[in-house]
Chain A
């Protein structure tokens, strides 16, 4: 909220400058968002007195005024305002002054008469809409003085962020002034000053009030005022509103706004003549409707608290009034509501109907119902003087008075929480300055603290300790090292695994990308993911960020595509949560996903001996295998299964059907990898030189070998032999490898493919074989035997040894 420094100073009696005040509040109470001079734009406007006035020689509608703007300083000013008169005190803009509307005053000759300034209207000064005539000031206005100073607009604005806990007391001048006084070290005088009770006539002409919902409306007060005149507000009131960031409208609106700023209590004026019978505060009935002030019609909920009379709903309580009973310029008699409504109810109504208003903002912060009495008195004192009229009656229905809270406070606990020992008198003083009553109870170092109802945020001992701490000043609390038992930090295996993986991948050449957790339908369709499995946001920032990601692929693929404009080849990865809907109970399920991507250079650089070089599938496969080996995962336990075997995996849909695999452990898939489906690449506009792999990291961690056991070093040398087998074309490397290992065991230790080529409908596979045994050097006869066995078994599979 924006606070006028002048008004705070007046109410609190502080002697501090605006900057000092800002610092004081920031250090001890609130977040201060800014301290600035109010920019009114009327520097250089001075108070003048019309000392001479004669008709303009050449123009009917103009007159030539002699205006005294200082000692022996009388200016000739040509003026067209009909209301200018001799001896008036007026606001004069002298040459070179630039007014808020953008007019720059210059010495000018108007129809042959030189004019040395301008006598201003309220509108020209930014103080109202009236531009029919000039602004006429009070007789006692001092000639030559600054106009801005005189009207009190020469002010500083202190913008303070009042957080929800203090919304009940500090969103008001009086509340903030009370705080300032307490921080300054004395109780504010206005706290003691009792306003006179409202004088009401012996009859009570105010409409009768019935609270039908006491939980929703703890107190309902009202003033009936007869014979008001809706018009412009006096200058002082306009200025107060302007510096507080509000636009003056008319005296009725302005006075309720001002009283709200002053006391914190929102008020609502009804046209009393539109009220039929008793005013009832109740919940809306089914299908009831209300046309708001704004003209909008709202269908009400049975949870909405309303103000109604015997005929209709008049207002949404504490949120907004209705059009029917609104005050207009024709209104003569008003019924001014000064009431207290329960915060949660107001908040629900505000949210339901999307009606954030100044009133609902304050009510949802749970105002003090005792504030109604003070505000009624302030209103009764101010309203007739500003709007005219006579108070014809008052209502104040207050079924159950709010009582102060009593809290037992132990001095030991103050020390235990703050970590600093405060003398007893200081604790008492801090609390007393805030208006809390402190009474010592029998046991030593224990107090009974009475909290006034205006501070509902103070509910327990810790709330009081916060008050003591901030009053004392946190800067006086010195850092103290804790005295604690030595406990080793237990490792979090998932976080450790995450870090190890990231560090491995970075060392292996992968760059880490982070992408958002949201995307839209476009990405889902482009990646052929199932829309129905996605967790959806109720209130997305934009429609294209409506879904929680089911996969990292859509955004990672699009980032990869962008990066391909700048980099020929690269590897990247992302580690993070992905989300899906539980198929049965539809609740969101999250798992941690690791996605790797590899992008190959535009052209394969060399015809590597291995036929797979240059193909994205094999590039990612090699990198994945290296990673799995780094995790010490037993590769013999891992199977590569064609992706068509797992149609239930949604992520497979974006992969190339015949260039992708599932990584399977004990029949359960734990990862996928492969090249992208051509259609997906087309949707993303990405060239076909990349491949991906994806894992659920929880599965990887489960596979990760925790402890490595040493295997004795090979004592006897391995013998190496090459073999080249020819099979029909359809035969895969996997089948040949399996054959080699099955037949070659236990002497065959390793079989490494080094060449594959096709010729005449046949496929030739060349392997380096290494043979060995733990207890001896193999004889060449032993190897021949195995070799022959391999060839024989190849023959059974339509294979033969290549000669």
Chain B
């Protein structure tokens, strides 16, 4: 008897729901089928009077019917709420522009600098810094550029007009390498540093030359035998592979810098053509990147280290070149043009 009644309540409850169109109607329905005084509830309360056998059958049925009706009620309620809003009137023109929020852009050189820094610091390198107006001592003398020697012509140098009272000769640094000696004077190996910075050369500007450019220097020093030419190749290849996101190999060619011995020019395998030869690499498969070498023992001596005790490599390259390669910028002068039409592309 009871079982049939429960089934009946479930059925009529379910069947009467679709016809309801208002919240008030739904509330009345809720009172009728799920309220405290509803028939279903009353029936469920009277279960305790039944025999155990009957309880076993009617109990679960009553509960599942109640759960079913609750679920139906929730769904219907949601639907009614949704329908209560005039969506067309509420609507916006989704193609109209969003409220303007200004975003700024970092110069591509800065972005490249940050990328490079992140790779090197992840390998345990420290970012070091030095003055842009450097003394002749740190820029040249300490780096084994003898006075009155043509090696000084390798870097066209601006000089600060000497003041009668000034003791030292000053110059806008021609490279970041002056920081090498400054840093080594203050620290003992093992050391791993990188030095990003602005440098200056007294040369006319064109699409690929600037009198002001941003250089990146890397110095790694340890006791003799630890940091070798082979280590340099490894660190350089690791860095460039990380920077370009593909396997890059490094080629060394003999060169000369007063502050390194041996000295190299280094090239990387062309990332444009995969070293097969293209216009960018002039069909050689290699791109010229920068200069490098094993720190000259005379530089260690200038920093106060004992000759032959330490060994390490130093290398430097222009960040503009990497920025131009990465973003395919045709004219180096754009980088410092201060033109927002350029900056805002990055």
Chains A and B belong together in one complex: yes
Residues of A within 8 A of B (CB): 26-31, 163-167, 343-345, 347-348, 361, 364-365, 413, 415-420, 460, 462-463, 465-466, 469-470, 474-475, 477-492, 494-495, 499, 502-503, 505-518, 535-541, 545, 548, 555-556, 559, 562-563, 566-567, 570-572, 576-577, 579, 581, 585-588, 590
Nearest-CB distance from B49 to chain A (Å)? 54
A170 to chain B, nearest CB (A): 11
Cα A566 to Cα B338 with chains together (Å): 13
Cross-chain contact A30 with B149 (CB below 8 angstroms): no
CB-CB under 8 A from A485, the residues of chain B are 190
Q: A515 to B164: give the CA distance in the assembly, Å.
A: 30
User: Which residues from chain B contact A487 at a C-beta distance below 8 Å?
Assistant: 124, 190, 192
Evaluate contact between A490 and B126: CB separation under 8 angstroms: yes
Those of B119-166 within 8 Å (CB) of chain A: 121-122, 124-129, 131-133, 146-151, 153-154, 158-166
> Whole-angstrom distance between the alpha carbons of A645 and B167 in the complex?
35
In the bound complex, residues from chain A placing their C-beta under 8 Å from that of B124 are: 484, 486-489
Say if the beta carbon of B343 comes within 8 Å of chain A: yes
Q: Check B294 against A417 for contact (C-beta < 8 Å).
A: yes
A417-B311, A562-B339 known; A492+B126 contact, CB < 8 A: yes
A565 CB, min distance to chain B CBs, angstroms: 10
Complex alpha-carbon distance, A489 and B168, angstroms: 34
Any chain A CB within 8 A of the CB of B41? no
Inter-subunit contact B148/A343 (CB<8 Å)? yes
Question: Is B230 a contact of A477 with CB atoms below 8 Å?
Answer: yes
Q: Is the CB–CB distance between B148 and A344 below 8 Å?
A: yes
Q: In the bound complex, how far is the Cα of B256 from the Cα of A249, in angstroms?
A: 35
Q: Does B65 make an interface contact (CB < 8 A)?
A: no
Query: With A343-B149, A420-B230 as given contacts, are A585 and B107 in contact (CB-CB < 8 Å)?
Result: no
A508 to B81, CA, bound (A): 41
Whether B42 sits at the interface, judged by CB under 8 Å, is: no
Q: Which residues of A contact B226 (CB under 8 A)?
A: 482-484
Q: Which bracket fits the contact residues of B?
A: 35 or more
Please pick, from A466, A495, A506, A515, the residue contacting B263 in the complex, using a CB distance under 8 A: A466
Can you name 16 extra interface pairs (CB under 8 A) apart from A469-B254, A512-B343?
A: A164-B150, A365-B150, A415-B225, A418-B229, A462-B294, A462-B296, A482-B235, A484-B226, A489-B192, A492-B126, A502-B106, A506-B105, A511-B340, A535-B133, A570-B102, A577-B131
CA distance A675 to B124 in the complex (A): 45
Interfacial chain B residues near A567, Cβ < 8 Å: 340
Residue picked from A29, A475, A490, A567, most chain B C-beta under 10 Å = A490
Q: Which residues of B contact A545 (CB under 8 A)?
A: 211
For residue B159, which residues in chain A have a CB less than 8 angstroms away from its CB?
A: 537-539
The verdict on A514 contacting B109 (CB below 8 Å), with A26-B253, A31-B253, A489-B121 known, is yes
| Interface pair B297/A462, CB less than 8 Å apart | yes
7 closest A-B pairs by beta carbon, nearest first, are A419-B228, A419-B230, A509-B102, A559-B338, A344-B148, A466-B262, A506-B104
- Whether B311 and A416, one on each chain, are in contact in the complex, defined by CB atoms closer than 8 angstroms, is yes
CB distance from B341 to the nearest CB of A (A): 6
A698 to chain B, nearest CB (A): 12
Known: A28-B254, A462-B296. A587 touches B166 (CB 8 A): yes
18 A-B pairs, CB-CB below 8 angstroms? A31-B255, A164-B153, A344-B149, A419-B229, A420-B228, A484-B226, A489-B124, A494-B129, A506-B103, A510-B104, A514-B107, A535-B160, A537-B172, A562-B339, A566-B340, A566-B341, A570-B102, A577-B131
Complex alpha-carbon distance, A577 and B199, angstroms: 12
Minimum CB–CB distance from B231 to chain A (whole Å) comes to: 5
Report A60 CB to chain B, min CB distance, Å. Answer: 57
Which residues of A sit under 8 angstroms from B122, Cβ to Cβ?
489
| Cα distance, A509 to B343, chains bound together (Å) | 13
B198 A31 Cβ-Cβ under 8 A:
no
Q: Is B327 an interface residue (CB 8 A)?
A: no
- Cβ B233 vs Cβ A536 within 8 A: no
B204 touches A516 (CB 8 A): no
CB distance from B105 to the nearest CB of A (A): 5
The residue of chain B having its C-beta at the shortest distance from the C-beta of A560 within the complex is B338
What residues on A are CB-neighbors of B165 within 8 Å?
Answer: 585-587
CB closest residue in chain B, given A362 = B150
- B193 CB to nearest chain A CB (Å): 9
* Known A344-B148, A539-B158, A579-B133: A164·B190 in contact at CB below 8 Å: no
Could you tell me the distance between the alpha carbons of A567 and B200 in the complex, rounded to whole angstroms? 31
Per the bound structure, the CA–CA distance linking A566 and B341 in Å amounts to: 8
Determine the residue in chain B with the shortest Cβ distance to A577: B132
CB atoms of A481 and B234 under 8 A apart: yes
When the two chains form their complex, are residues B231 and A517 in contact, meaning their CB atoms are under 8 A apart? no
**Cα distance, A139 to B334, chains bound together (Å):** 63
User: Is A541 a contact of B234 with CB atoms below 8 Å?
Assistant: no
Are A576's CB and B102's CB within 8 A? no
> Which of B127, B294, B336 lies in contact with A516, CB distance below 8 A?
B336
A580 → chain B closest CB, angstroms? 10
B149 touches A513 (CB 8 A): no
Q: Is B61 an interface residue (CB 8 A)?
A: no
For residue B219, give the distance in angstroms from its CB to the closest CB of chain A: 14
The reply to whether A508 and B104 contact each other, CB–CB distance below 8 Å, is: yes
Considering the complex, which residues of chain B in the window 290-346 have a beta carbon less than 8 Å from any beta carbon of chain A? 294, 296-297, 311, 335-341, 343-344
